[in-house]
Amino acid sequence: MEECIFCKILNGDFGTEFVYENDYVAAFNDINPKAPVHVLVVPKVHIASLNELEDKNLMGELLSAVRAVAQKTGLKAYKTLINTGKEAGQEVFHLHLHVMGDK
């Protein structure tokens, strides 16, 4: 999706460094971190929110990537957050899982 900021990041438009990446998902630092480590895990295909996610294998990949990000960034304890819908605070409509913690 051309106008989606996370699709642009995934497309390499800004040269964003990925904290973690595989065939299905990528993870990068949040631009406005709310914790010492604040990483966003996103599917490589454009899915607007959790409500539009049908693929259960991809659900597993996303959670698996959260754990991989925690391991890679040295987080033993962390919060994982998914905002779904504008009223719940979702600002970017490309599904993302927040991974937040302190080392």
90, interface contact from ligand AMP, Zn ion, none, CB < 5-8 Å by kind: ligand AMP
47-70 residues labelled b (16+ CB within 10 A) or e (exposed)? bebbeebeeeebeebbeebbebbb
CB 95 within 8 A of CB 64: no
Nearer to ligand AMP, 3 or 91 (CB): 91
Residue 35 binding target from Zn ion, ligand AMP, none, CB below 5 to 8 Å by type = none
Residue 78 interacts with which of Zn ion, ligand AMP, none, CB < 5 to 8 Å by class = none
Residues belonging to the active site: 96
In the complex with ligand AMP, the residue whose CB is nearer, 31 or 59, is 31
**Which distant-in-sequence residues (6+ apart) come within 8 Å of 73 by Cβ?**
19, 37, 39, 99, 101, 103
CA 98 to chain centre: 6
Binding to ligand AMP (CB under 6 A) within 42-101 occurs at 83, 89-92
> Within positions 15 to 54, which residues make up the interface with Zn ion, using CB under 5 A?
46
Closest contact distance (angstroms) between CB of 13 and ligand AMP is: 10
